[in-house]
Structures are given as structure tokens and as C-alpha cells.
Amino acid sequence: MNTKNIMDAKGIERALTRIAHEIIEKNKGAEGMVILGIPTRGAYIAKRLKDILKSIEGVDLPVGAVDATLYRDDIGMKQEQPILKETDIPVSIDNRKIIIVDDVLFTGRTIRAAMNVIMDFGRPSSIQLAVLIDRGHKELPIRPDYIGKNVPTSMQEEVRVHLQEIDGIDEVVVEAE
Amino acid sequence: MRLKRKDILTIEDLAKDEIELILSTAQSFKEVSEREIKKVPTLRGRTIINLFYEASTRTRTSFEIAAKRMSADAINISASSSSVAKGETLKDTAKNLEAMNPDCIVLRHPSSGAPQVLAGFIKCSVINAGDGSHEHPSQALLDLLTVKEKLGRIDGLKIVIVGDISHSRVARSNIYGFTKLGAEVSVVAPPTMMPSGIASMGCNVKNRIEDAITDADVIMMLRIQLERHKVPLFPTVREYSRLFGLDRKKLGKAKKDIVILHPGPINRGVEIASDIADAPYSLILDQVKNGVAVRMALFYLLLGGSRE
């Protein structure tokens, strides 16, 4: 297997810092926002974004997790049931600006499912999407508002984000067969 | 780890890691019942039939709510108001229901082994919701979840089960479940309600509740199943209650941080004193709450994979 390192710890930190600034710029501040990460790694990135936003803007935003498993469009099509992860939406999301955070954007189907989960919890004023890596091959009309890095890939490649909190190291690698 | 089974028939069949998968999945499902919209679209288009040959409020409602919260269509059939009352056999009823293409049949039946028989001749999933005095796997799973949630672990705990052991499918499933996860189970009953050879299931057999509960972490009280007694098994309910019912005096022998379980329906003042059933250390209503989550997990794990 061929492995290529495309981002190191410093690169991830810089990308997230830039995304945080872009979020503040686009929304003219961070008031009324709720950050929701998609487990597993999106939830850790969401916490990091929250911390960066706090250090820049001084606001302590609510952060949570939204697991899209139960809303997937391939339940019953795969041989095995996908493992459930945690959904934790700590505040009412009515009339709040939601930032969905994920590590890698691929087909967009997880994001579609996550938006349906969020809509069942309330009526946010808007939903925006931040991803660390956009690897292309979208199958739905979904486009991120904030991108750490665009990484054109082939279908045979896998993009893996490793985070200190769970993998013991911060890096992004592309694996090819 | 995935569950690769068509049916959930007994706890005896389940491996430790399968039980742990069901419990962790159920833990995740608890949150769904707290949402404002208590429903997820996961099992849209799936049909679940609750086929109940015995009276039930809790279990049947729990399975029905679980199915509906997963967006499956749930149909309830009770034997007293169906063609069973006209003399149809279990096999014929099941074959006819199968012709309507359900994805899962939840069966409660007075005969031990009925769900195994059913699973053998129909293609859809079968969940045992209690068969005779054999097993009641979803009850044991919700008991395990309740204890694990309150005490943080199962491994190394001491569990005491008191009551009509010989007629109790709850006791059997729980003995298997708790011992598989590393707990030590003791059973207490009058000799007439203690099945011979029960120790071969891996539990301790004790005669006096006062001796059994001194170092217990969990006490599980069982209902006296008078409807299953063909001959009287004790002189009077009052005497049973005095010797084997859980009251404040007996509970004084137990550890301070004891928790009490009861599968319901409870007979207040018979196997459990009223004030104990309502005390903060009684987890009876937590059990009911966890029952929905456990059954959602079972439906998800059985029906969430591919049909092939």
C-alpha cells in the first residue's frame, strides 16, 4: 500500500485557524452559533474549532455531536449494520446558525443525513458546512462553506484524517492500493 | 463487531461480545427517546408483527413503541382476539403471517421453545418475547443495561435473584446474561420453587434471603406466578411474603448502596414492600425505560443489515 502524507499537525492547525476566521468573517461574528461535529473525528474537530473561535472572538459557543447513522440511505443494503455513535445536541437549535463539521467530505451523503437529523431537532436559521478535507466525488448537490484543503483523489484512494485525541497524532494521509 | 443472526431466541445462545454490542447499541438509542421528535427513519418500510399468546402490557407496548420509534410498521396480534381462538396452530398462524411478508415476528408464547420452533420454519427474524418458563432475552438485556448504567459495570458484581425461580424465564435469562458478563449470581427461593439442577447454570443456590443479600450489589425480586402453579407451592401468600418478600427489615442486612430490580408486574406487599418499590434505589422504572432502547437496538441489529 502506498501512503502519502498531505498534512501535518501544523498544517491542520493552520487550516482550522483559517476556517475559524472565515466563519467569523462570513457571519460577522460568532453570536448565535452552534457547532455540531459528525462523530468520530468531525466531533473532535468541532471541539477544536470551538476553542479557536473562543480565543479569537471570546465567545463560548455550544458544541455537540450529530450522528447520521440512523438517517443513512444505505441501511439494509450493506451486509452489516453500521455502528451507532453519539448524538448530543446540547441546546435548542431553533433560529440558531449551525456549523456542521466533518473531517472528510466525499459523496455528501453523510451530510445530507446529518442535515435531516438536525431538522428533526428544530428549525435552525441556517446550516453551514466546514470540512478539513474535500476529496471530491460528490453525489449530491452539497458544497462546503469552509474547506481546510482541497484534495483531488481517485476512487481507489482513501483519505484518512488522524487526530491526537483518538489516533495519537495529527496528520492527513492518502492511501492508495 | 457485528451481530450476524436471524433471530434472538435465548441469552444462552449469545456470546459475550454479542451481548456487549447489543448493550452499547441500546445505550446510543436511549437518546432518541429523549428527543422532541421521538422517531428516526431507520427502519422505514419494515414490518414487525407482535404475536402475543399471553397477556402482556409492558413487553408488548415496549416492542411496539420501539418499532414505531424506528419508523417500522408494528402490528399487534393477541391470541385471545385472533384466529388462534378458533383453533389455528402456531405453525399455521405463522405461515399465514409470513405470507404477508413481515421482516420480524416478536413472539410471546406459554410453551417453552415455541420461538425456536417458529424460527425454524419461517424466513423472517424472530425475537423471543418470553416463552413459558424458558427465557425472556430482551428482559435480561434491559436488566443488564440498567445495572451497567447505574453501577458502571457488570463484571465482579454480586446479583441475587429471589422468588419463583422454577417458573421464571426472567431468572433463567438473567442467570445466563449476568454470568456471561462476569457477575456472580445467587438464587433464593422456597424449595418448592427451586428447580433441581439450577446450580449447573453457574449460580449459587441459597435458602434464606437474609443470608444471600448481605454482600449483594443488586437484588432482583420476581413475581409469584400463581397462574403457572398447577398445585399450591406455598401455604399462604402471607407466609411467602414474610419469609421471601423484600421489606425494610430484611433490606437492613444489605449494603447501603444496594439497588433493586423487578421485571414487573409487581405485587405490592407480596414479593416487595410498597415503600421499597417506590424508593430511590428501586430501578423498576429505569428498567422499563431501558426496555424501549434495548428493543430498538434488537430491531436495528436484526433488520439494519442486508436482507440477503
Residue B253 grid cell? 442486612
Residue B43 grid cell? 427502519
Q: What is the pLDDT of residue B307?
A: 53
List C-alpha distances in Å: B109 to B30, B78, B90, B136.
28, 10, 9, 11
- Complex ipTM, two decimals? 0.88
- Give me the residue label for grid cell 492527513: A172
Closest residue of chain A to B32, computed from CA coordinates: A87
**Class (C level, CATH) for A7-155:** alpha beta
CB atoms within 10 A of CB A138: 16
Q: Do A86 and B305 touch (CB under 8 A)?
A: no
The C-alpha angle with vertex A164 and arms to A159 and A170, in degrees rounded to 5, equals 45
The question of whether B39 is a catalytic residue gets the answer: no
Tell me: the pLDDT tens digits for A138-157?
Answer: 999 999 999 999 999 999 99
Q: Do A116 and B41 touch (CB under 8 A)?
A: yes
Instruction: List all residues of chain A from 99 to 128 with a beta carbon under 8 Å from chain B.
Output: 116, 120-122
- Give the containing element (helix H, strand E) for B221: strand B218-221
Tell me: the pLDDT tens digits for B156-194?
Answer: 999 999 999 999 999 999 999 999 999 999 999 999 999
Tell me: the pLDDT tens digits for B250-269?
Answer: 999 999 999 999 999 999 99
Domains of chain B are 16-136+290-303 (3.40.50.1370), 137-287 (3.40.50.1370)
Closest residue of chain A to B40, computed from CA coordinates: A70
Asked if residues B295 and B25 have their Cβ atoms less than 8 Å apart, the reply is: no
d(CA B132, CA B99): 26
Cβ neighbours for A4, distance < 8 A, ≥ 6 positions apart: A173, A174, A175, A176
List C-alpha distances in Å: A85 to A116, B153, B248, B305.
16, 20, 42, 17
With cut-offs at 50, 70 and 90, classify the pLDDT of residue A174: very high
How far out from the chain centre does Cα A20 lie? 13
* Residue B124 scores a pLDDT above 70: yes
Q: Cβ contacts (< 8 Å) between B306 and chain A: which residues?
A: 76-79
Would you say how long chain A is, in residues?
177
DSSP character string of A114-177:
HHHHHHHH---SEEEEEEEEE-----SS---SEEEEE----TT-EEEEE-HHHHSS-EEEEEE-
With cut-offs at 50, 70 and 90, classify the pLDDT of residue A60: very high
Q: Is A139 on the interface with B (CB under 8 A)?
A: no
CB atoms within 10 A of CB B75: 15
Q: What is the pLDDT of residue B232?
A: 87
With cut-offs at 50, 70 and 90, classify the pLDDT of residue A77: confident
Size of interface A-B (CB pairs under 8 A): 55
Q: Do B304 and A82 touch (CB under 8 A)?
A: yes
Report helix, strand or coil for B211: helix
* Residue B136 scores a pLDDT above 70: yes
Q: Do B40 and A70 touch (CB under 8 A)?
A: yes
Average pLDDT, rounded, for chain B: 95
pTM of the model: 0.93
d(CA A154, CA A95): 39
